[in-house]
Structure 1
Amino acid sequence: MSSKRPVFKPYQQRQLMAIPPTLDELVPASHPVRVVNDVIDRLYLEPLLKAYHIRGSSSYHPQMLLKVLVYGYVTNTYSSRKLAAACRESVYLMWLSSMNYPDHNTINRFRGVRLKHALRDVFEDVVKLLAEEGLLSIEEVNTDGTKIEANANRYTFVWKKAIQTNKEKMKKQLSEIWDYAQSVAKEEDRLPDPPDFTVIDSEKVNAAVDKLNEKLSSREDVSKQVKSKLRYISKHYPQAIARYGQQEALLGERNSYSKTDTDATFMRMKEDHMKNGQLKPGYNVQISTSNQFIVNYTIHSNTTDTNTLSAHLAQHEVSFGKAPQVLTADAGYGSEENYTRLEQKGTIAFVKYGMFDKEQNENHNNKHPFAANKLFYNQEKDCYICPMGQQMNFIGTSKRKTSTEFEQTVKRYQAVNCANCPLNGICHKSKGNRIIEINENLNRLKQKAHELLNSEEGIQRRKKRCFDVEPVFGNIKQNHGFKRFMLRGKEKVEIEWGLVAIAQNLRKKAA
């Protein structure tokens, strides 16, 4: 048997140190916590201090709480309870908080209340500091959006279509009862003409129910079924109409909302827990990035990216005093309204329109030889020439408004005689003479976008967009596990995403 024994490093748990190490010595010089500390120390935090009252007991310093929160989001610790525990357990958070131990209520109240009016300023200051260091550009940005689930019940919802269906059923029931009352009433006791139920409200329903009760409830020749139906209408319809009115006010232009977070709209998301395309309550998050740093962010309750760009640009102007010089985005933003807004602001827009990618394919162009955009336009006579050489004459102009109240102008042209044309049925599917609608402003804007996108600069910017803005969402969602908001209500969701955006920028700077 060998007398040799293994050698171990000293382990003396109760050994006292003459000069114990400080927390600062335990934090490596290149650790991300130092980046968080350094950047927040350089910020102007006066707007945050205004959220505190002068009177009352002393509070934890907002600078310390902001550092704790931001570092929590940097390290994927989003829960206030976990952050409070980490302030007692993590060397990095103990160093950052200077051995302060805020409880989870303090952290949560700071996040949801104190930061309400100050976090946007903090985010903007971080962006400006990074811009001064040459890490990002505020003038040249890439824009995209994603949908993130709200902290709301997935199965308690209100749908606009369901409200409309129920109101139509109510109108029908009231009309039927009114007609019945007319049929059984004596000549001298006949009801007036039925109310106009085109627009139905609580006051109108109450008046109709009172009149029907007056005429029918005391009559013995009225069937029990009708009286039962009238009692049900009297009891439920006025309250239901009042409830529907409140729900429609909350819906606004949306098609749905969640009962547990009324600002959240049901949207189709890539992260599908049921794997069946189920809609979930969520928010449409829009960001502009530069070099994978988030320069601007906005939160929206509407589901389509198209209708978010105006508000997103407006926020950029409020934050930095002017619109971006260059904006690159995918086809989800290629509408007449967005192109017009960007043109008015002097922004060079490398923004695709809906058919741009398909137009790059020659086979697609050959599939639709009779499309309106393929027809020859005679500028002198203001007419189009159909595939058989007939003139399609101008017949008028129409104006229409989009869901965002943007006015579009469309010119209409009609062929003279399609009845005996050998291409009838191939050229178009309508029964009469073919009519085409031409939006000249949109065509001009699309042509301008086409030229920009196919230029050498446009090709480079299109390539860059794919690995600039899209990986930011992928990093936040997949690498850092932020797929669902923890706070409820659009106002608090904006705070939470602001912290996510600051954390993304500081992680990128640390890297």
Structure 2
Amino acid sequence: MRYIQGEDRSQSALFPLSLDELIPDDHLVRVIEAYISLLDFEQLGFDKARPKATGRPSYDPADLLKLYLYGYFQRTRSSRRLEAECQRNVEVMWLLGRLAPDFKTIADFRRDNSAAFSATCRAFVQFCRHAGLIAGELVAIDGSKFQAVASNRKHITPKKLKHQEAALEKRIARYLAQLDEADRGEEGESIDRSAVQATLRELQVKKANNQTCQVLMEAQGLVQHIVGESDAQKMRTPSGKFVAYNIQSAVDAEHCLILHHEVTQDGADRQQLEPMAKAAKAELQQSQLSVTADAGYSNGEQFQACEDASITPFVPPNRSVNNQGGGTEFFDRTDFKYEERSDAYQCPAGKMLTLKQMSKGDRIYQATIADCSVCPLKSRCTKASRRYLTRHAHEAAFERMELRMQARPEMMVSRRSIVEHPFGNLKQWLFGNGRFLLRQLKGARAEMALAVQAYNLKRAIKVMGAHQLMALMG
């Protein structure tokens, strides 16, 4: 019995196959071709969307966008690897009509069209809305850290600079001491004076540069800086601290399609609920919206802003304990009853805490020393001479949120199943747990927009099927 044999490489085919015969009817590249044909590249803002009348012809941005979408589907983000695919991959040959742009042209296209990629994402979201893939009933919001190009070694702070300056001063002092000893003749000819002086000049230049950096950071009020990628920030992640960007996403609950995403420099999520919720609402073009997020988005001011914009948030309130004792044995703020008419709190013993002062919008209440000194419950209330209580500037928004979460505890389970699916795909499938390839916010936004577009397109194919999706694209 023999093995299955291939054709002889020197054998000529009687009927040569065309590229089109090699590509199945429901193949990914046919979907990409159909989708790209819908786009108005000039309206989306792509560079060179209208060819010039004179000079050497440029590549059509439609062809380069096809190449990038295919590349992100296949976990190929490098411009050099995409150049190689153009010359050896039959699917890419079909998609581009055998065009083979060089890696510099491919890389420049991604670098120069960051805003246009984001506009393309929004256009596909609108297509999905009209196709019935987006319901708009519930949107989940979450953030995740993606590593930047720069490494942790490029991260500097005023404290690090001072340590480096002190180390440089010690080295300079050591070399100066060697020169002094040589001048006194204590080391004879063992020191190469010219080499020591050259090293000293180098160290003094480094010290001057260090001091200049300290002055500049202080003048600009910077607490950290990334050399070579000033837009990035060192952020805390579950696996440690890395130079990264915080990627925010708003995901529709119907089919886990990403409605809106944003690349931010904020290491925390507390200020992101309102802008992300409003952006999702604008994409959906609805008068009302329900959103859910985890406790990292807990912020009374943001809760109130969402409610004012007809957005109903579902976020677990994350608040510090207000018991004046640092332990659970003391009464918490929830044990005190607020009376709105008199703007005062009634304590568990029935005494009143009146307004003392306001601090940054928060209202601070206090009981009288006379009431606390004879109170039989004082040992369970405070160790101080009187009890103080702080009411948040948006306490009412926190209270409404607590009631909503008690009524809908399943929201946290829904949030996890909706928004963590896209991030898992983006990190494992598209980025391969790697980092961005382009520097600064502009570069990170270009890459993330391409990744989100590829994810949404893949998700739409999974839900509807290639044939039905292409039929809708016309």
TM-score range, shorter chain: 0.7 to 0.9
Report the 3-state secondary structure (helix = DSSP H, G, I; strand = E; otherwise coil) of the residue aligned with 2:151: coil
Q: Does 1:267 align with 2:235?
A: yes
Q: Which residue of 2 aligns with 1:337?
A: 301
Report the 3-state secondary structure (helix = DSSP H, G, I; strand = E; otherwise coil) of the residue aligned with 2:127: helix
Following the alignment from structure 1 to structure 2, what is the Cα–Cα distance between the partners of residues 164 and 321? Answer: 52
Identity %: 27
Q: Does 1:483 align with 2:434?
A: yes
Shift of the alpha carbon at 1:478? 2.4
Following the alignment from structure 2 to structure 1, what is the Cα–Cα distance between the partners of residues 294 and 94? Answer: 44
Contact 1:130–1:136 (8 Å) recurs in 2: yes
Following the alignment from structure 2 to structure 1, what is the Cα–Cα distance between the partners of residues 398 and 32? Answer: 44
Shift of the alpha carbon at 1:389? 3.5
Q: Which residue of 2 aligns with 1:283?
A: 245
Contact 1:44–1:122 (8 Å) recurs in 2: no
Q: Which residue of 2 aligns with 1:132?
A: 130
Following the alignment from structure 2 to structure 1, what is the Cα–Cα distance between the partners of residues 91 and 363? Answer: 62
Shift of the alpha carbon at 1:420? 5.0
Contact 1:390–1:416 (8 Å) recurs in 2: no
Shift of the alpha carbon at 1:165? 9.7
Shift of the alpha carbon at 1:42? 1.5
Q: Alignment partner for residue 453 of structure 1, among 393, 405, 412? A: 405
Q: Does 1:434 align with 2:387?
A: yes
Q: Deviations over 1:377-411 (max 9, x none)?
A: 3455443233333332232333x1xxxxxxx3424
The one-letter code matched in structure 1 to 2:213 is: R
Q: Does 1:502 align with 2:460?
A: no
Q: Which residue of 2 aligns with 1:404?
A: none
Q: Does 1:14 align with 2:10?
A: yes
Q: Alignment partner for residue 293 of structure 1, among 257, 271, 294? A: 257
Shift of the alpha carbon at 1:50? 5.2
Report the 3-state secondary structure (helix = DSSP H, G, I; strand = E; otherwise coil) of the residue aligned with 1:384: strand
Q: Which residue of 1 aligns with 2:91?
A: 92
Contact 1:287–1:297 (8 Å) recurs in 2: yes
The one-letter code matched in structure 1 to 2:396 is: R
Q: Which residue of 2 aligns with 1:149?
A: 147
Shift of the alpha carbon at 1:23? 1.5
Check 1:50–1:64 CA distance in 2 against 1; reply closer, same or farther (3 A cut): closer
Report the 3-state secondary structure (helix = DSSP H, G, I; strand = E; otherwise coil) of the residue aligned with 1:28: coil
Check 1:380–1:285 CA distance in 2 against 1; reply closer, same or farther (3 A cut): closer
Q: Deviations over 1:119-147 (max 9, x none)?
A: 11111111111121111235632110000
Contact 1:419–1:432 (8 Å) recurs in 2: yes
Q: Which residue of 1 aligns with 2:176?
A: none
Using structure 2 for the length normalisation, give the TM-score: 0.78
Q: Which residue of 1 aligns with 2:357?
A: 396
Shift of the alpha carbon at 1:284? 0.4
Q: Which residue of 2 aligns with 1:111?
A: 110
Report the 3-state secondary structure (helix = DSSP H, G, I; strand = E; otherwise coil) of the residue aligned with 1:468: helix
Shift of the alpha carbon at 1:322? 6.4
Check 1:302–1:245 CA distance in 2 against 1; reply closer, same or farther (3 A cut): farther
Following the alignment from structure 1 to structure 2, what is the Cα–Cα distance between the partners of residues 50 and 10? Answer: 45
Following the alignment from structure 1 to structure 2, what is the Cα–Cα distance between the partners of residues 159 and 92? Answer: 49
Map 1:278-427 → 2, pairs under 5 A: 279-290=241-252, 291-313=255-277, 315-316=279-280, 325-354=289-318, 367=328, 370-379=331-340, 381-398=342-359, 400=360, 408-417=361-370, 418-419=372-373, 421-424=375-378, 426-427=380-381
Q: Does 1:34 align with 2:30?
A: yes
Two-structure CA RMSD over aligned residues (Å): 3.2
Following the alignment from structure 1 to structure 2, what is the Cα–Cα distance between the partners of residues 10 and 491? Answer: 49
Check 1:433–1:87 CA distance in 2 against 1; reply closer, same or farther (3 A cut): same
Using structure 1 for the length normalisation, give the TM-score: 0.73
Contact 2:67–2:92 (8 Å) recurs in 1: yes
Check 1:63–1:323 CA distance in 2 against 1; reply closer, same or farther (3 A cut): farther
Shift of the alpha carbon at 1:311? 3.6
Following the alignment from structure 2 to structure 1, what is the Cα–Cα distance between the partners of residues 356 and 391? Answer: 12
Contact 2:274–2:303 (8 Å) recurs in 1: no
Structure 1's unaligned 5+ residue stretches are: 170-233, 359-365, 401-407
Bigger mean CA offset, 57-66 vs 28-37: 28-37
Check 1:61–1:368 CA distance in 2 against 1; reply closer, same or farther (3 A cut): farther
Report the 3-state secondary structure (helix = DSSP H, G, I; strand = E; otherwise coil) of the residue aligned with 1:306: coil
Shift of the alpha carbon at 1:238? 8.9
Report the 3-state secondary structure (helix = DSSP H, G, I; strand = E; otherwise coil) of the residue aligned with 2:437: coil
The one-letter code matched in structure 1 to 2:12 is: L
Following the alignment from structure 1 to structure 2, what is the Cα–Cα distance between the partners of residues 341 and 121? Answer: 26
Shift of the alpha carbon at 1:493? 0.4
Q: Which residue of 2 aligns with 1:363?
A: none
Q: Which residue of 2 aligns with 1:462?
A: 412
Following the alignment from structure 1 to structure 2, what is the Cα–Cα distance between the partners of residues 10 and 162? Answer: 64
Check 1:425–1:438 CA distance in 2 against 1; reply closer, same or farther (3 A cut): same
Q: Which residue of 2 aligns with 1:175?
A: none
Check 1:10–1:477 CA distance in 2 against 1; reply closer, same or farther (3 A cut): closer
Shift of the alpha carbon at 1:151? 0.5
Q: Which residue of 1 aligns with 2:118?
A: 120
Contact 2:249–2:260 (8 Å) recurs in 1: yes
Contact 1:269–1:280 (8 Å) recurs in 2: yes
